[in-house]
């Protein structure tokens, strides 16, 4: 068991799977081993729903295990079973917020308009649960369903009274929906509240409303703390708007953006594209994702035990190593240059399949160190539309902030081209008119030191 854990931690999934299966042969009734078999199988891209079911018999009180089982069912195309499982559990545990979120996500990616319907049913059974009502609100707000989100908060306050969480929720709606986005004093009444999520909402509101110094100062509060990872991308916008030279120190324009052509033949690319298409089984992206007009896979793509994926992973690792080795000297204050460079791991990996008119909204990857886009298929030149259609652009602020900043530059997609860049950098793509674009993307983080 310990060997399986150690191999999984260094992302040797072949070795981890063999080790955990060996542990299962020696201890077939061990609940933790059974769960390990399911988890490693799931992360390796193998069928695992029935393995989670067996582990659940041994660990009947583990709701997190049941959530993983539902995700595995959905990944295997058994969506109805996943919904049925979660619905039954939510009948017994109406306050299980992670279960609601999982069920909402499965329904949203299946294209169901009433994806959040589990919440009102559970609130009927647990009407005094304010946290459950706010979880419903946040689910709707993430989907930008502002009117329904307002109604949820109003109903919560009507039944249970106004609370700090509902006050903050109303402020979020007022700012992000545009209702009061031009009110400079919107957040003044909660100046005393210390909360990372609230600080992010404040920063966005102040940037949108031209209060650039206030936005910068809130970001600065988090300097030197782990929470700063959420604010680097916003402080660079404030610095750019204030003509502060630290914006150049942080982003460096296109200095840290690199494009590499992987050694992938047309046969490699075709085989890879066919493998990826089989993994895109959902109808819509998750609401919190940047994908517009396409889908994104969920399981860790580059950990799959699949020779086609393993081949491209090896090539990716070689190029990432080159990118890291070519970075400038260490700078202990810089989010890209301060990190240890000996070894790295994938903190997430996925594929995106865009349809005609598809694009990525501008975003960053605050949990990453280095981010990426590897192009597998791209539209023909005649399908793209006028420039910059389809291009990957860097430094453009999110459109909803309406800031007068131009992009630093862009990369034109080509099959087999890999773009690497700091995870703190704003990036997004321009829509293309027709055709298909399929990518592999991943975040890299420094590997922790050996135990």
Q: pTM to 2 decimals?
A: 0.95
| The pLDDT value given to residue 351 | 98
Q: Which fold has domain 2-175?
A: 1.25.40
Residue 450's pLDDT is: 75
pLDDT of residue 186: 96
Which residues in the chain come in under a pLDDT of 70?
451
Residue 276: predicted pLDDT: 97
| CATH superfamily, with its number, for domain 258-446 | q2cbj1_9rhob like domain (2.60.120.620)
pLDDT at site 377: 97
pLDDT digits (tens, 9 = 90+) for 396-423: 999 999 999 999 999 999 999 999 999 9
Domain boundaries, the chain: 2-175, 181-250, 258-446
> What digits encode the pLDDT tens for the residues 237-266?
999 999 999 999 999 999 999 999 999 999
Query: What local confidence, expressed as pLDDT, does residue 1 receive?
Result: 82
HEC letters along the chain: CHHHHHHHHCCCHHHHHHHHHHHHHHCCCCHHHHHHHHHHHHHCCCCCHHHHHHHHHHCCCCHHHHHHHHHHHHHCCCHHHHHHHHHHHHHHCCCCHHHHHHHHHHHHHCCCCCCCCHHHHHHHHCCCCHHHHHHHHHHHHHCCCHHHHHHHHHHHHHHHCCCHHHHHHHHHHHHHCCCCCCCCCCCHHHCCCCCHHHHHHHHHHHHHCCCHHHHHHHHHHCCCCHHHHHCHHHHHHHHHHCCCCHHHHHCCCCCCCEEEECCCCHHHHHHHHHHHHHHCCCCCCCCCCCEEEEEECCCCHHHCCCHHHHHHHHHHHHHHHHHHHCCCCCCCCCCCCCCCCCCEEEEEEEEEEEEEEEEECCECCCCCCEEEEEEEECCCHHHHCCCCCCCEEECCCCHHHCCCCCCCEEECCCCCEEEEEECCCCEEECCCCCCCEEEEEEEEEECCCCC
């Amino acid at each position: 068991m310990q060997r399986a854990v150690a191999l999984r931690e260094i992302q040797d999934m072949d070795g981890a799977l063999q080790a955990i299966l060996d542990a299962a042969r020696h201890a077939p009734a061990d609940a933790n081993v059974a769960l390990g078999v399911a988890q490693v199988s799931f992360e390796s891209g193998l069928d695992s729903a029935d393995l989670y079911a067996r582990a659940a018999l041994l660990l009947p009180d583990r709701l997190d295990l049941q959530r993983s089982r539902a995700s595995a069912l959905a990944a295997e195309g058994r969506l109805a079973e996943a919904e049925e499982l979660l619905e039954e559990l939510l009948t017994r545990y109406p306050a299980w917020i992670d279960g609601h979120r999982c069920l909402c996500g499965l329904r949203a990616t299946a294209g169901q308009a009433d994806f959040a319907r589990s919440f009102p049913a559970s609130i009927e059974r647990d009407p005094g649960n304010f946290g459950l009502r706010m979880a419903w609100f946040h689910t709707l707000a993430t989907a930008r369903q502002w009117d329904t989100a307002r109604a949820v908060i109003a109903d919560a306050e009507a039944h249970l009274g106004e609370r700090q969480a509902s006050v903050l929720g109303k402020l979020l709606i007022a700012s992000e929906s545009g209702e009061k986005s031009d009110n400079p004093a919107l957040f003044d009444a909660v100046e005393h509240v210390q909360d990372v999520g609230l600080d992010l909402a404040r920063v966005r509101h102040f940037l949108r409303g031209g209060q650039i110094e206030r936005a910068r100062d809130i970001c600065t509060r988090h300097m030197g703390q782990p929470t700063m990872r959420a604010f680097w991308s916003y402080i660079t916008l404030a610095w750019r708007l204030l003509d502060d030279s630290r914006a150049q120190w942080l982003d460096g324009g296109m200095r840290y953006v690199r494009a590499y052509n992987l050694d992938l033949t047309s046969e490699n690319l075709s085989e890879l594209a066919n493998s990826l298409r089989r993994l895109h089984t959902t109808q819509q992206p998750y609401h919190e994702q940047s994908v517009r007009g396409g889908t994104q896979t969920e399981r860790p793509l580059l950990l799959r035990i699949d020779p086609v994926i393993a081949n491209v992973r090896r090539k990716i690792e070689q190029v990432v190593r080159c990118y890291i080795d070519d970075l400038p000297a260490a700078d202990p204050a810089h989010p890209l240059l301060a990190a240890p460079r000996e070894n790295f791991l994938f903190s997430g990996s996925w594929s995106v399949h865009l349809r005609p008119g598809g694009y990525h909204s501008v975003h960053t990857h605050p949990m990453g160190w280095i981010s990426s886009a590897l192009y597998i298929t791209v539209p023909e030149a005649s399908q793209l539309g006028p420039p910059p259609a389809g291009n990957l652009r860097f430094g453009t602020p999110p459109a909803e902030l309406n800031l007068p900043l131009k992009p630093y530059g862009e990369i034109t997609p080509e099959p087999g081209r890999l773009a690497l860049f700091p995870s703190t950098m704003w990036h997004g793509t321009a829509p293309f008119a027709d055709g298909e674009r399929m990518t592999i993307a991943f975040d890299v983080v420094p590997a922790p030191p050996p135990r």
